[in-house]
Amino acid sequence: MFDLDRWQEIFQTLSKNKLRTALSGFTIAFAILLFTLLFGVGNGLKHTFEKQFASGAVNSVYIYGGRTTKPYKGLQSGRSIQYRNDDEKFINEKFEKEIQFFSPNIQRSMQVIYKGEQNRYTVRGVYPDYQPLESSVIQDGRFLTYLDIERRAKVVAIGRLVEIDLFGSLSALGKNLNIEGISYKVVGVFNDPGGDNDERYIYAPFSTIQGMYKPNDELDYFGLTFNPEMDVDQAVAFGNLLTTLLKEKHSVDPRDQGAIRVRNNAEGTKNVQQFMLVLNIIILFIGIGTLVAGIIGISNIMVYIVKERTKELGIRKALGATPKSIVGMIMLESIFVTAIAGYSGLMIGVFTLRALGDTLEKYFILNPSVETYVVVGATIVLIIAGTIAGYIPAKRAARIKPIVALNDE
Amino acid sequence: MIKIEKLHKSYPIGKDSLHVLKGLDLHIKEGEFVSIMGSSGSGKSTLLNIVGLLDTHDEGNYYLNGQKIQNLDEKKAAILRNKFLGFVFQSFNLITYKTAVENVSLPLYYQGMGRKERQQIALHYLEKVGLKDRANHLPSELSGGEKQRVAVARALATKPKVILADEPTGALDSKTSAAVMEMLKDINREGMTVFVITHEEDIAEQTDRIVRLKDGVIISDEKVNKSVNV
């Protein structure tokens, strides 16, 4: 298969015709370079959006209460809606299938002291289900358990930054914290990809906090995640139904927007997904356009090259070159130039993107990079294009009668 | 070596066709030194192209080395050209970006010969035409006469049966013309069949046999009386 003579012949042709080789190589390298940069920047935009929506689970729903803005069923407007434990039961029963994780929440800012160090932190009374809701990850110890809830245990799981604030380099695990005068044992330390704020929370058992700070079964809000098997539209419908049922239960006018507020991530996800889709289509469109321009460029050059070499090919045929050897020679040249140039363009593009790194974060371009398969795919497309671009004129050149080619001036 | 019977060839020109060769009969034996004389348009180049398998004929028979030539595909024609025929053209037709020795070794490359052997044989033939010292020069660095000598060396490299020369001296001055003709004579003396096309009387007279062509037919075919030239 590997024919040294043939390759020597090709290297000679290419190196003796430097301008021609450089021109065709440049076209291809430039096309691949543009393609790589474009995809990289597109991916950078995507990364930015993904990061913006990374905090919390993507399928989370939060249910807050507020004040009514409309009178309804004889009730005045301005009435405040207070959730209680029976709301938890109600939601759980109505949406058993749709809900994956579910937790009521009581949230307060409290003074927290450990030995000489003290600070104010948001303390949340929650169920163990709250952990996946926030996408927090335990790095030491454990999160809360249902046994803690049952026993109204005075235990807490603290954020990584709380540990650093109060304990410095020491481990907080097993130590007792003084929270508003009551002693809690630290059972776990977590980190959270959502950022610094999310790593300064303290989680305590819901029952413990409710018993201490909320009379009459009151609670602040609910957090839940819906079944991830639901698609975006189903999830949005679920959120709407949940809102309607809660309004009914609390005698709120269906048109009242203030009293029952359900923040459904699915709606945001839907918008983001649509935005990403449009972005992807635009990138794909421009990318394909660039590739097509590159392909046309190679085709043009190959047609020109073969035309320019008609006489040479005629001489070769007169000296005994078979049509096959002519086609083979031109195509190997074409493929060789395309592959080398395409690879160089690819490398320049990849290194440029790597050099850019996060310097364009201001412009919403974060870590611009390309998936290897995209670029390898593009290079293969170009090589195939180079092959076809070489094949058609080569075939035609091989068909020309040598006498016609020899008379070509 | 070359036997032609009732050969016809016409070229389409628009709707009409131009009848160029009108039933030629010609027999050239091995070792002959023949020239085809004729003015432009007489059909002599067409004849050479058909004999050289660069073009096909319409009617009649053509035998090359006893083999009947018909319905040749490009590949077979290429192999026969490589094996039996060596070409010398008026415009030299050297590949411009290859040196003299690379040009000479090109037909050997198409025979599938190894690089070293090719180089050796090419140098041998360049020496024979007196250009060994110019072996690594590009055609653009050679004079017209030198280019034609490189072309002759290239034609000889595959040890063909027949050398076909199309106006080999057409682009050369009289002094270099004489040198090239002298070379062709030497080749013929070694036993190779040489077939020259020319419109110059004094070139034709240096060959052994002159075939005169006019308007696609042979009007005379005579041996040259050598004693006249001596």
Instruction: Return mean pLDDT, chain A.
Output: 85
Measured between alpha carbons, how far is A333 from A311 in angstroms, rounded to an integer?
A: 18
Q: Report which of B87, B109, B58 is spatially closest to residue B153, judged by C-alpha positions.
A: B87
In A28-98, DSSP assigns E strands to: 60-65, 83-84
Backbone torsions φ then ψ of A354, nearest 5 degrees: -65, -40
* pLDDT bucket at A1, cuts 50 / 70 / 90: very low
pLDDT exceeds cutoff 50 at A187: yes
Contact call for A319 and B74, based on CB within 8 A = no
Domain ranges of chain A: 4-52+271-407, 60-265
Instruction: Return mean pLDDT, chain B.
Output: 88
Are residues B32 and B209 in contact, defined by beta-carbon separation less than 8 angstroms?
yes
Q: Report which of A329, A334, A337 is spatially closest to residue A312, judged by C-alpha positions.
A: A329
What pLDDT is attached to residue B70? 84
Say whether the ipTM exceeds 0.90. Answer: no
B156-214 residue pLDDT tens: 999 999 999 988 888 888 888 888 899 899 999 988 999 999 888 888 888 999 999 98
Mean pLDDT of A139-159: 92
Backbone torsions φ then ψ of B6, nearest 5 degrees: 45, 55
Contact call for B81 and A316, based on CB within 8 A = no
β-strand partners of A114:
A117
The crossing angle, in degrees rounded to 10, of helices A85-94 and A232-249 is: 140
Contact call for A319 and B107, based on CB within 8 A = yes
Is A280 in CB contact (< 8 Å) with chain B?
no
Is A402 in CB contact (< 8 Å) with chain B?
yes
Cα of B138 to nearest chain A Cα, Å:
11
Interface with chain A: mutation pick from B81, B150, B154, B197, highest number of A CBs within 10 Å: B81
* pLDDT bucket at A17, cuts 50 / 70 / 90: confident
Q: Which residue of B has its CA nearest to A315?
A: B93
What is B31-55+74-229's CATH superfamily?
Answer: P-loop containing nucleotide triphosphate hydrolases (3.40.50.300)
Share of chain B above pLDDT 70, in %: 97
Measured between alpha carbons, how far is A132 from A100 in angstroms, rounded to an integer?
A: 10
CB pairs under 8 A between A and B: 70
Q: Report which of A51, A184, A188, A57 is spatially closest to residue A113, judged by C-alpha positions.
A: A184
Is A325 in CB contact (< 8 Å) with chain B?
yes
Sort out which chain B residues have CB atoms less than 8 A from A8's CB and list them. 115
Cα of B113 to nearest chain A Cα, Å:
10
* Residue among A312, A320, A402 whose CB faces B111 most closely: A320
* Residue among A5, A315, A318 whose CB faces B109 most closely: A5
Measured between alpha carbons, how far is A359 from A364 in angstroms, rounded to an integer?
A: 10
pLDDT exceeds cutoff 70 at B126: yes
pLDDT exceeds cutoff 60 at A317: yes
The residue that leads in pLDDT, A356 or A82, is A82
pLDDT exceeds cutoff 80 at B15: yes
What pLDDT is attached to residue B226? 61
The residue that leads in pLDDT, A324 or A268, is A324
Give the residue carrying structure tokens 């163990």: A128
Cα of B26 to nearest chain A Cα, Å:
22
Sort out which chain A residues have CB atoms less than 8 A from B89's CB and list them. 406
What pLDDT is attached to residue A73? 85
The answer to which of A33-37, A149-153, A154-158, A205-209 has the lowest mean pLDDT is: A33-37
Is A193 in CB contact (< 8 Å) with chain B?
no
β-strand partners of A192:
none
Mean pLDDT of A296-322: 83
pLDDT exceeds cutoff 80 at A386: no
* pLDDT bucket at A189, cuts 50 / 70 / 90: very high
Q: What percent helix, strand, coil does chain B show, rounded to 5?
A: 40, 30, 35
What pLDDT is attached to residue A56? 56
Contact call for A403 and B49, based on CB within 8 A = yes
Give the residue carrying structure tokens 């660039």: A290
pLDDT exceeds cutoff 70 at A54: no
The residue that leads in pLDDT, A280 or B34, is B34
C-alpha distance from residue A140 to each of A143, A160, A186 (Å): 9, 9, 10
Contact call for B154 and A403, based on CB within 8 A = no
pLDDT exceeds cutoff 60 at A55: no
Interface with chain B: mutation pick from A319, A322, A324, A407, highest number of B CBs within 10 Å: A319
Sort out which chain A residues have CB atoms less than 8 A from B54's CB and list them. 318, 401-403, 406
Alpha-helix runs per DSSP H in A357-401? 372-399
Interface with chain A: mutation pick from B47, B82, B152, highest number of A CBs within 10 Å: B82
What pLDDT is attached to residue A2? 56
Question: In this structure, is the dihedral angle defined by the CA atoms of residues B52, B58, B60 and B66, taken in order, positive or negative?
Answer: positive
* pLDDT bucket at A206, cuts 50 / 70 / 90: very high
Q: Which of the 8 DSSP states describes residue B134?
A: G
Pairing of β B193-198 and β B162-166: parallel
A229-253 residue pLDDT tens: 888 888 888 889 999 998 988 888 8
Sort out which chain B residues have CB atoms less than 8 A from A13's CB and list them. 97
pLDDT exceeds cutoff 50 at B230: no
Mean pLDDT of B4-27: 88
Measured between alpha carbons, how far is A239 from A229 in angstroms, rounded to an integer?
A: 15
pLDDT exceeds cutoff 60 at B37: yes
Cα of A298 to nearest chain B Cα, Å:
23
Mean pLDDT of A93-99: 88
Domain ranges of chain B: 31-55+74-229
What pLDDT is attached to residue B67? 87
Measured between alpha carbons, how far is A188 from A155 in angstroms, rounded to an integer?
A: 9
